[in-house]
C-alpha cells in the first residue's frame, strides 16, 4: 500500500515508495490504464476522479514541471485574482529548461527568470509564485507578458495593498534604470491608493540618468515628454486608468 499519492505526480516525489524504478513505472502504467491519472508530459502526471476531472489546478501542474518552476507575469496575476482576463496559457519561471507544451488546451510557457527575488511558496495552494510586489515589477518590466498596458492598469486597480519595501527590493534585484523610470511613472498614479511614500519615488529617481527613454514605443499614438521621469510617455494614461477609452 502506498502511503500517499499527490495530485500531481513526479518520479522524484513518489520513487521512495517503490522498491525499484521498474516497480514505479509499472504502477504508473497501471494507473494510466485504469484512467486514474492523466499524462501531462513525460514524467509528469495528474490524478483524475471518476468523472475524468483533474484534481489539480493548472497552477499546481505548472509548479511541478521542473524542480524550480514558479508562476510569473500574467499567470501570477491570475493566481492572485488580480487579472482581468483568463489566458489559456501558464507562464512558468524556471532556470531549468523545458520545451513549452500544451495540455488540455492550456499552453505551458517557460520564462527565463531575470533574478531570484521574491519567489515564495504558498503551502495551501501547493504553488511557487512571485510575490505580489515582484509580480507588479515584472509586469511593468515586460508589459507584453502581462497582457498589455490595459491589463496592467486593470490589475493595479484590483490590487489592494503593496509593500513599498518589497517593490524596491524587486527593483533593486533588476538594477535597471529604465525599470526605475517606468515603475516610478506608473506607480505615481497610484501613490495615494497604495500609500507609497515620497521616499519611495525619491529612491526611484536616484537611479535615473540624463538619457530620455520611451515608456511604450508602439502602444500609443500620442506621447509627450515627462520631465519628472525623463520618459516619452503616453498622453492619455490617466484617462485609461479611469476607464475612459
Domain spans, the chain: 8-47, 58-241
Tell how strand 70-71 and strand 89-93 pair up: antiparallel
Cell of 159: 490590487
What is residue 240's predicted lDDT score, i.e. its pLDDT?
Answer: 64
Question: Tell me: the pLDDT tens digits for 129-143?
Answer: 999 999 999 999 999
Which of 80, 62, 61 lies closest to 71 in space, CA to CA? 62
The phi, psi pair for 142, rounded to 5°, reads: -125, 85
The backbone torsions φ and ψ at residue 161, rounded to the nearest 5 degrees and listed phi first, read -135, 135
Please count the other Cβ atoms lying within 10 Å of the Cβ belonging to residue 222: 7
Mean pLDDT across 213-227: 77
Say whether 52 sits in a helix, a strand or coil: coil
Among the listed residues 89, 86, 92, the one whose alpha carbon sits nearest the alpha carbon of residue 104: 89
- As a whole number of angstroms, the distance between CA 69 and CA 128 comes to 7
User: pLDDT band at residue 172, thresholds of 50, 70 and 90?
Assistant: very high
According to the model, what pLDDT value does residue 14 have? 94
In this prediction, residues 83-101 reach a mean pLDDT of 96
Helix (H, G, I), strand (E, B) or coil at 100: coil
How do residues 2-30 score in pLDDT, each as one tens digit? 888 999 999 999 999 999 999 999 999 99
How many residues does this entry show for the chain? 245
- Torsion sign over Cα 8, 95, 132, 137: negative
User: Residue 225 is inside which H or E element, if any?
Assistant: strand 223-226
State how beta strands 119-122 and 8-10 pair: unpaired
Q: What is the pLDDT of residue 245?
A: 37
Which positions ≥6 away from 175 have C-beta within 8 Å? none
Residue 243 pLDDT grade (very low, low, confident, very high; cuts 50, 70, 90): very low
Tell me what pLDDT residue 101 has: 98
Amino acid at each position: 500500500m502506498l502511503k500517499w499519492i499527490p495530485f500531481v505526480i513526479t518520479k522524484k516525489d513518489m520513487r521512495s515508495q517503490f522498491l525499484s524504478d521498474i516497480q514505479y513505472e509499472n504502477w504508473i502504467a497501471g494507473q494510466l490504464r485504469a484512467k486514474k491519472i492523466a499524462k501531462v508530459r513525460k514524467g509528469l502526471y495528474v490524478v483524475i476522479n471518476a468523472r475524468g476531472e483533474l484534481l489539480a489546478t493548472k497552477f499546481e501542474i505548472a509548479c511541478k514541471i521542473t524542480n524550480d518552476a514558479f508562476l510569473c507575469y500574467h499567470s501570477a496575476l491570475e493566481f492572485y485574482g488580480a487579472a482581468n482576463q483568463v489566458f489559456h496559457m501558464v507562464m512558468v519561471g524556471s532556470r531549468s529548461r523545458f520545451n513549452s507544451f500544451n495540455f488540455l488546451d492550456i499552453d505551458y510557457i517557460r520564462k527565463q527568470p531575470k533574478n531570484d527575488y521574491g519567489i515564495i511558496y504558498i503551502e495551501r495552494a501547493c504553488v511557487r509564485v512571485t510575490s505580489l510586489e515582484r509580480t507588479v515589477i515584472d509586469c511593468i518590466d515586460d508589459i507584453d507578458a502581462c497582457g498589455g498596458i490595459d491589463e496592467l492598469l486593470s490589475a493595479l486597480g484590483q490590487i489592494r495593498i503593496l509593500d513599498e519595501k518589497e517593490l524596491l527590493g524587486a527593483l533593486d534585484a533588476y538594477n535597471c534604470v529604465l525599470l526605475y523610470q517606468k515603475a516610478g511613472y506608473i506607480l505615481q498614479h497610484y501613490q495615494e491608493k497604495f500609500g507609497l511614500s515620497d521616499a519611495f519615488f525619491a529612491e526611484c529617481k536616484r537611479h535615473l540618468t540624463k538619457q530620455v527613454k520611451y515608456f511604450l514605443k508602439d502602444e500609443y499614438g500620442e506621447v509627450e515628454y515627462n520631465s519628472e521621469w525623463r520618459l516619452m510617455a503616453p498622453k492619455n494614461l490617466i484617462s485609461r486608468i479611469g476607464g475612459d477609452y
